[in-house]
């Protein structure tokens, strides 16, 4: 894994997130907050989780250790979450521009305060994988509210 690979993964992540946001922003408020069976109670909370976790990892990469979810995740509109995700992505790009060693150890604490040390490359791969996992859930949830979700497969992205 090298920095080119990491940038490619985050380009995929941004592409897939944009497709999901484009779809979700067309939903009615009722569809956006309709109770559904998944890891989170509805589309809004699942989308907020994706953005919130990317934000939390940015904080950790800057030596901070959040212990609670940020206030802006609560009852968030899709456009406000999209704007926040752009801020997060821009901050991550600045961070990645300064990275010289993907094997460097990152010390951080989880939300409960438990200490961990991970390689930077593993954390960065986790961020993209985490978002991909929950976009898969969103795909199912979008279908459950009667809408056709976008295709966000990596190979679709790679085909250009």
Angle at 141 between CA 11 and CA 128, to 5 degrees: 25
Angle at 89 between CA 81 and CA 134, to 5 degrees: 55
Share of the chain above pLDDT 70, in %: 100
CATH number of the structural domain spanning residue 129: 1.20.120.450
Q: Which of 49, 123, 118 is nearest to 92 (CA)?
A: 123
What's the pLDDT score for residue 1? 87
- Report residue 70's pLDDT band, with 50, 70 and 90 as the boundaries: very high
- Report residue 89's pLDDT band, with 50, 70 and 90 as the boundaries: very high
* Number of domains observed in the structure of the chain: 1
The mean predicted confidence, pLDDT, of the chain is 96
- Report residue 37's pLDDT band, with 50, 70 and 90 as the boundaries: confident
What's the pLDDT score for residue 83? 98
In the beta sheet, which residues pair with residue 109?
A: 115
CA gap 101, 2 in Å, rounded: 9
Mean pLDDT in residue range 100-118:
96
Phi/psi at 14 (5° precision) = -65, -45
- Report residue 66's pLDDT band, with 50, 70 and 90 as the boundaries: very high
Is the per-residue pLDDT at 11 higher than 90?
Answer: yes
Provide the domain limits for residue 146.
3-158
pTM: 0.95
Share of the chain above pLDDT 90, in %: 98
pLDDT tens for each residue of 47-56? 999 999 999 9
Count of Cβ atoms closer than 10 Å to residue 41 Cβ: 13
């Amino acid at each position: 894994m090298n920095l080119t690979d990491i940038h490619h993964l985050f380009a995929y992540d941004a592409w897939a997130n944009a497709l999901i946001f484009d779809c979700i922003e067309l939903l009615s408020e009722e569809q956006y907050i309709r109770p559904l069976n998944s890891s989170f109670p509805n589309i809004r909370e699942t989308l907020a989780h994706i953005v919130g976790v990317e934000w939390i990892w940015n904080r950790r990469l800057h030596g901070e250790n959040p212990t609670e979810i940020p206030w802006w995740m609560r009852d968030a509109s899709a456009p406000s979450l999209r704007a926040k995700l752009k801020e997060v992505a821009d901050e991550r790009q600045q961070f990645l521009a300064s990275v010289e060693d993907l094997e460097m150890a990152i010390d951080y604490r989880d939300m409960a305060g438990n200490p961990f040390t991970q390689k930077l490359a593993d954390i960065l791969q986790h961020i993209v994988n985490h978002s991909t996992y929950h976009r898969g859930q969103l795909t199912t949830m979008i279908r459950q509210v009667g809408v056709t979700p976008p295709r966000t497969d990596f190979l679709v992205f790679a085909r250009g």
